[in-house]
Amino acid sequence: MKKKIFSIVSKIIESPVDETTDFKDINSLKLLQIIMALDEENITIPLEKIPSIKSVSDIIKFAQIEG
Amino acid sequence: MEQFALAKVKNVRIAGLSACVPSNVVDNKIFGESIYKNEISNVIKTTGVSERRICPENVVTSLDLSVRAADYLREKSGYDFDNIAGVIFVTSSPDFLMPNNATTAQYRLGLSGATAAFDINLACSGYIYGLWVAAMMSKSLNKSILLLDGETNSHFASPKDYATALLFGDAGTASVIEPCDDSNEWTFVFETDGSQRDALIIPEGGYRKRIDKHSSEYKKYPDGGIRRGIDMQMDGMGVFNFVVRNVPKSLQYLMEETNTTPDDYDILALHQANLFMVKQVAKMMKFPMEKVPTTIQKFGNSSSATIPVTIAAELDKQISTKKLRFIASGFGAGLSIASASFELGPCVCPGVTEYEC
């Protein structure tokens, strides 16, 4: 799942990412784009966790696979 | 300590509802190209806003759109406005700081001088507050109340601010609330967190910071947005955080208080903040999207007006012929949440008309 997350996030923020990538320069709209793109690949972040996402490692921590 | 204020009102009904949007359509793919560049398709997908209705600044206002919605309702329904003894105007974009919109609406609609008229200054939670106040007022006056709700938020959304540039549309709506002996009880739930005032704010132009010679200058802010002091500033994640933590709880509390479940409702009417948020709240509340009408795709976010615009646009035929049970929630600036459980229909609903501009 990690690889898939890296690939999706990288595509949205248009630069390579790994677990150490933080989102300090990512605005809320961009973060929602990431969450939505993950959702489309059946990787769900619980709604209440979204505001606390500050990095790729947070996504990995909160990600749940659906279906 | 209790998280929500609870209110109930009996023996009132919505007798009619209509909406008016500007005829001018803005295609966000074209409008947003310069600011979002190659991300524009993703931004449209996330927000849901493909196009918006915008009226020209200093020419058409929330008052014009809402008065037109009321006229449209009167023309199409033949509803006797002589029964109206109160006008409430919900808006955060009035024509003037003084006087209010409601008094001018009374004059422009030719209503009797025996009318109580006042504005409610609320943003996205405003329509639900308006319904609550109109319901109580209708019972108190034992007459019909005209609830106007209109916004022109596009006029204070900076086209250079990534957070708000393509979200907002303009709209006006009219609802008539009247006393009724045999209607179902309406239940309301409210929550306010004024400590988060700055999460959604127009920082200049009021009396805390009057307009000065710099208020109309575009500046770059630490959040990356380029806007004027008289434009809206939005901490998107702050608002999102408040909404996801509290709107589902508000709806859940409402269902507990009314002893209902999602199966008991025909419609979940949510403020059209952005499509992602609407879908996520619906999912969390276990409402299928078939029960959750959306109009943000074609009208954008018109703040307090999104709920009545969505009802008029998507449910006009249904509520014209039958009764639907609604659970609804508006949420935004304040920060503020208002949710309600009520029945609507059969009533007069001619749908949405356009204001040529």
Q: What is the CATH number of the domain that holds A50?
A: 1.10.1200.10
| pLDDT for res A28 | 82
Burial class, B192, CB count within 10 angstroms (exposed 0-12 / middle 13-18 / buried 19+):
middle
Q: Which residues constitute the domain of residue A28?
A: 2-65
Cα maximum dimension of chain A: 32
8 A C-beta contact, residue B274 and residue B48: yes
Instruction: Tell me how many domains chain A contains.
Output: 1
Active site residue B124: yes
* Closest chain B CA to residue A13: B39
Phi-psi region of A14 (alpha: psi -120 to 50; beta: other; left: phi over 0): left
> What tens-digit pLDDT sequence spans chain B (357 residues)?
789 999 999 999 999 999 999 999 999 999 999 999 888 998 999 899 999 999 999 999 999 999 999 999 999 988 899 999 999 999 999 999 999 999 999 999 999 999 999 999 999 999 999 999 999 999 999 999 999 999 999 999 999 998 999 999 999 999 999 999 988 999 999 999 999 999 999 999 999 999 999 999 999 998 889 999 999 999 988 898 899 899 999 999 999 999 999 999 999 999 999 998 999 899 999 999 999 999 999 999 999 999 999 999 999 999 999 999 999 999 999 999 999 999 999 999 999 999 999
Contact A32 B224 (CB under 8 A): no
8 A C-beta contact, residue B307 and residue B127: yes
Interface test with B, best of A26, A28, A42 (most B CBs within 10 A): A28
Question: Which structure tokens are listed for B320?
Answer: 């014209």
Query: Could you give the domains of chain B?
Result: 8-179 (3.40.47.10), 186-348 (3.40.47.10)
* Closest chain A CA to residue B249: A48
| pLDDT for res A66 | 67
| Amino acid identity for residue B110 in this structure | G
| pLDDT for res B353 | 98
Closest CA to B312 of B344, B334, B341, B280: B344
Mean pLDDT of chain A: 88
Q: Is A32 on the interface with B (CB under 8 A)?
A: yes
Which one from B100, B301, B347, B349 is the annotated catalytic residue?
A: B301
**Alpha helices per DSSP H over B18-175:** 28-31, 33-36, 40-47, 62-77, 101-108, 126-141
Q: Is A51 on the interface with B (CB under 8 A)?
A: yes
* Alpha-carbon B85 to chain mean position: 23
**A6 three-state secondary structure:** helix
pLDDT, mean of residues A22-49: 87
Contact B43 A31 (CB under 8 A): no
Q: Is A12 on the interface with B (CB under 8 A)?
A: yes
